[in-house]
Structure 1
Amino acid sequence: MPHTNLFLNLPPSCDPAEPVLLAISGGRDSVALLHLLREAGFTQLILCHLNHGLRGDESIGDAAFVRRLAKKYGLKCEIETEDVAALAEKSRVSTETAARDARHALLLRMAEKYDVWVVLLAHHAEDQAETILANLCRGTGLAGLAGMHAVQRLDTGLHLVRPLLHVRRKAIDSYLKSKRFKFREDSSNTSPKHRRNRLRHEALPLLNDIFARDVVPQVLRLGSLAEQDDDALQRQALAFLTAEGSVKEDRSLLVTPELLALHPAVSSRVFAVWLREAWELPGIEHDVIEAAMEMLAPDGAAKINLPGDKHLRRKAKRMWVE
């Protein structure tokens, strides 16, 4: 049986005959995805690589390796360098967050340059389990417990596709070994400085030991169930917002008996969708949504602060942003 049938889970929108962006670090996972895609008939891959400037000559070597791969297979290649450490300090975010934002910015530039909006990423099952556990420890809701999505549409218009999301790391290693494909080793993947590395090398093995079993399938099952439940609640919230008599033409939300009767799991999503999409507000987190819901109480506040120096107001039976 071909390896491709064992690994790739691609949506119908991914046509091998069409150009597609591939985020590639040069490491084992993205290199495996590159070869699997080639086996599946993808001939117009555009390799996108970001040198984060964090590992000196090693990072330079990664970029050179990706460039050689592109040349070998006759593929387009886009390589950029970003001082991620300086970006993190300037933005006051973690290095991991700054690196992710820089990668997304590169992918957006390439999408605009080539007018190609599908990006393939090489996240696999262990990456998903680590993401779910990390989100759990941050106090996430169902959306966080769902982890990464196999297909995700960003507000920028990018469509992130993860064909290996349910593939185990050992299967990827076996594939690379059987094909004798070369890849780059990232020395930072073993550093205890990074929380994800500790989840990978310490937390998951400890959980396996405690429960005397491989816990990754159970964590992935949790993610799948959470995604299913969150989708159902989101659909109820969207149905409410699109019903006649819920939102006025000026985007204000009407405080109706139907809104007050909603289960908190649905009404919280009503506020989240309304604020993020109708008013296009960034940074709408749990505390903001909770404060907005408290405004529905008879003695609730008439005004609360929102990100970006905005305010949510309520007067009589109407709520709006100013």
Structure 2
Amino acid sequence: MPAILLNLPAACDPSEPVLLAISGGRDSVALLHLLREAGFTQLILCHLNHGLRGKESIDDAAFVRRMAKKLGLKCEIETEDVAALAEKRRVSTETAAREARHAFLLRMAEKYDVWVVLLAHHAEDQVETILANLCRGTGLAGLAGIHAVQRLDSGLHLVRPLLQARRSEIDAYLKSKRFKYREDSSNTSPKHRRNRLRHEALPLLNDIFDRDVVPQVLRLGSLAEQDDDALQRQALAFLMAEGRVKEDRSLVITPELLALHPAVSSRVFALWLREAWELPGIEHDVIDAAMGMLAPDGGAKINLPGDRHLRRKAKRMWVE
């Protein structure tokens, strides 16, 4: 069986401590054993029980604890009522679970002063993400899918060493090594959109095109990430030039700004609002409205998230 290659950045030193987010399922268990084979000796296993599957969730946590003890690894396990969290914040269960995981991993990073977290997303996860984003009307950033290395605002670095590995390769590896793992019953439920993409949409696309479409979708993601990065760099270079942003953080409306291609100017506004003003929730509709203010008959004020406003006057724009 061909070896699964881990895509790890140079900063991941096998001799240094690193956090591993582990569910007990096949993907994270495979990553655990692959990392050990690669010489990682100070893995800290981090498991969050979402409380969504009753006894099955409790058994998952117990499985991770036993495995950590057997391998002589540190283990951190916490429980979060994700369903209650989703209701309280009025978000989807998926969003609440992701926020809970990030908060848990941040606590572990602060506890151990270890800011690299390894996650077990693989190629099919990437394809499902790209297809889901496509159907939501995403731009290049969404078509890029999951990043192999992602830095969160909290300072956490999420690293995904298996992002190019196929699910079939992971299954073959686990079978050949006879490693035990937990099966998540929710992975087959048609209630979850991602499961329908995995079990219905992808097989149908393969059948329609009479080929395995995963490599093509992965290539789309790679090209989209490359193009988006180039446009982001242009936008950042524009903002960093002297005189573009004043000390009071206002953006100067110059002929150069007006002449930018919309693909660049939209990113200029996104960066300026998110970075200079630290505004959350800046989506496409806000960016489109901000760009509309540049027109000769554009408005002088638009609403922003958080009861803020973007204003334009005398060839400059600012937030109040």
Q: TM-score, normalised by structure 2?
A: 0.99
String of CA shifts for 1:93-140, please: whole Å, max 9, x gaps.
111111111101100111111111100000000000000000000000
| Matches of 1:153 and 1:36, distance apart in 2 | 23
Determine if the alignment matches structure 1 residue 212 to structure 2 residue 210: yes
User: Match for residue 16 of structure 2?
Assistant: 18
String of CA shifts for 1:194-252, please: whole Å, max 9, x gaps.
00000000000000000000000000000000000000000000000000111011111
Quick one: which of 25, 28, 31 aligns to 1:30? 28
String of CA shifts for 1:136-155, please: whole Å, max 9, x gaps.
00000000000000000011
SS of corresponding position for 2:318: strand
Name the % identity: 90
Question: What value does the CA root-mean-square deviation take over the aligned residues?
Answer: 0.8
String of CA shifts for 1:46-75, please: whole Å, max 9, x gaps.
111010101111000000000011111111
Between 197-206 and 72-81, the greater mean CA deviation after superposition: 72-81
SS of corresponding position for 2:45: strand
Shift of 1:14: 0.4
String of CA shifts for 1:174-210, please: whole Å, max 9, x gaps.
0000000000000000000000000000000000000
**Structure 1 consecutive aligned stretches of length 4 or more whose deviation exceeds 4 Å:** none
SS of corresponding position for 1:184: coil
| Matches of 1:213 and 1:97, distance apart in 2 | 33
| Matches of 1:60 and 1:11, distance apart in 2 | 34
| Matches of 1:100 and 1:225, distance apart in 2 | 26
| Matches of 1:283 and 1:59, distance apart in 2 | 32
String of CA shifts for 1:153-179, please: whole Å, max 9, x gaps.
011111000000010000000000000
SS of corresponding position for 1:119: strand
| Matches of 1:251 and 1:75, distance apart in 2 | 48
| Matches of 2:248 and 2:11, distance apart in 1 | 36
| Matches of 2:122 and 2:309, distance apart in 1 | 41
Shift of 1:309: 0.8
Alignment of 1:270-289 (within 5 A): 270-289=268-287
User: Match for residue 126 of structure 1?
Assistant: 124
SS of corresponding position for 1:148: coil
SS of corresponding position for 2:302: strand
Shift of 1:15: 0.4
Quick one: which of 220, 224, 227 aligns to 1:226? 224
User: Match for residue 268 of structure 1?
Assistant: 266
SS of corresponding position for 2:48: strand
SS of corresponding position for 1:308: coil
Shift of 1:7: 2.3
Shift of 1:90: 1.0
Quick one: which of 133, 138, 141 aligns to 1:140? 138
Quick one: which of 133, 158, 164 aligns to 2:162? 164
String of CA shifts for 1:27-48, please: whole Å, max 9, x gaps.
0000000000001111111111
Quick one: which of 85, 88, 96 aligns to 1:87? 85
Quick one: which of 45, 60, 75 aligns to 1:77? 75
Quick one: which of 188, 194, 201 aligns to 1:203? 201
| Matches of 1:305 and 1:33, distance apart in 2 | 45
SS of corresponding position for 1:7: coil
| Matches of 2:303 and 2:68, distance apart in 1 | 50
